[in-house]
């Protein structure tokens, strides 16, 4: 038997090849794909990996391999819309990308708050306004949102982060477009960005860090609820988080309240005691009290001092 190719690498190569076919008008139905050495060089994979990827696309009806002639693009009408294998791969990839973001971006936001110059914070605020404008006008906000997060990374003054984040966001953008989930996340993104900007205005690095983490966790939860989460994890992996609003799973409640209790002080504790018999209100108090404490909503972005 031939060597075993990691399934993930084969799937990634198949996705990239399919994206190339779909995005380049030269590859119309009946067009011949570049030869095997050229594709191996283009994707940076071995011949064995490429052949497995081509075989996968051929099984789904996207291409046809003609012995002695090459590989040809088939008519899209005769191919399945996306294929279950590809859909599952995209779902897993989307979740993996958000897990990487969770590891990096909250800390990047904190460092930006600590190290960023006033000019860099103004740039972040400008990017937030671009995202808000795109969402309110019903336009595609993927690129403005990427620029917004990249502005945070630039303000960390860490060159390694500046090189890493564009790679993650480029992969995220491709997956985003394939799954068409932008409309699902528009309003949550608008709300979370507003809260982020409030903490940034005060240079509250812990507030920024927690809010960025909550934003990413909330996005993961929304994707899971909408059916875009991966169909399953390897043995030993944690289960997908349940819905719990922007501050995480219901199981995180004790830790979440400890953090908020320490940050908001006596006012929060008094309100929490008063709301004890109405547990459904507790998740609202962090937003309300933090907004009041930091005076977020009376200050339009255009009038911020930095």
Rounded to whole angstroms, the Cα distance separating 38 from 210 reads: 46
Q: Which residues, in sequence order, are bridge partners of residue 63? A: 73
Q: Report the first-to-last Cα separation within the chain, whole angstroms.
A: 64
- Calculate mean pLDDT across residues 191-200: 89
Q: Mean pLDDT over residues 240-252, rounded? A: 39
**Mean of pLDDT values over 45-56:** 87
pLDDT tens digits along 273-292? 443 433 433 333 344 344 43
289's CB contacts (< 8 A; 6+ apart) are: 260, 264, 267, 268, 271
Please give the domain boundaries of the chain with CATH numbers for all domains: 7-78 (1.10.10.10), 82-231 (1.20.120.530), 247-306 (no CATH)
Cβ atoms within 10 Å of 194's Cβ, excluding its own: 16
pTM for the model stands at 0.51
- Name the one residue in this structure whose structure tokens are 């875009």: 228
CA angle 87, 62, 77 (to 5 degrees): 95
Phi, psi angles (nearest 5°) of residue 74: -90, 165
> How far is it, in rounded angstroms, from Cα 15 to Cα 94?
13
Q: How do residues 100-120 score in pLDDT, each as one tens digit? A: 889 999 999 999 999 999 999
């Amino acid at each position: 038997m031939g060597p075993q190719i990691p399934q993930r690498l084969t799937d990634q190569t198949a996705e990239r090849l399919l994206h190339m076919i779909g995005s380049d008008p030269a590859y119309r139905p009946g067009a011949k794909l570049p030869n095997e050495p050229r594709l191996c060089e283009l994707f940076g994979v071995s011949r064995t990996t490429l052949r497995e990827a081509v075989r996968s696309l051929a099984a789904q009806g996207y291409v046809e391999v003609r012995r002695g002639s090459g590989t040809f693009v088939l008519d899209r009408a005769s191919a399945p819309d996306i294929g279950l294998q590809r859909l599952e791969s995209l779902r897993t990839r989307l979740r993996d990308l958000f897990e990487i973001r969770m590891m990096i971006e909250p800390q990047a936001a904190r460092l930006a708050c600590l190290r960023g110059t006033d000019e860099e914070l103004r740039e972040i605020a400008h990017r937030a306004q671009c995202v808000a404008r795109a969402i309110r006008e019903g336009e595609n906000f993927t690129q403005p949102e990427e620029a917004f997060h990249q502005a945070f990374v630039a303000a960390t003054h860490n060159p390694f982060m500046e090189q890493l984040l564009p790679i993650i966001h480029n992969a995220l953008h491709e997956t985003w477009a394939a799954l068409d989930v932008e409309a699902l996340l528009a309003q949550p993104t608008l709300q979370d960005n507003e809260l982020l900007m409030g903490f940034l205005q005060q240079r509250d690095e812990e507030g920024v860090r927690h809010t960025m983490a909550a934003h990413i966790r909330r996005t993961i939860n929304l994707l899971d609820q909408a059916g875009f989460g991966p169909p399953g994890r390897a043995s030993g992996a944690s289960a997908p988080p349940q819905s719990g609003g922007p501050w995480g799973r219901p199981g995180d409640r004790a830790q979440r309240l400890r953090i908020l209790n320490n940050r908001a002080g006596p006012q929060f504790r008094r309100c929490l005691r008063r709301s004890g018999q109405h547990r459904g209100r507790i998740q609202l108090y962090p937003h309300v009290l933090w907004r009041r404490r930091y005076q977020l909503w009376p200050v339009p972005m255009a009038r911020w001092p930095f």
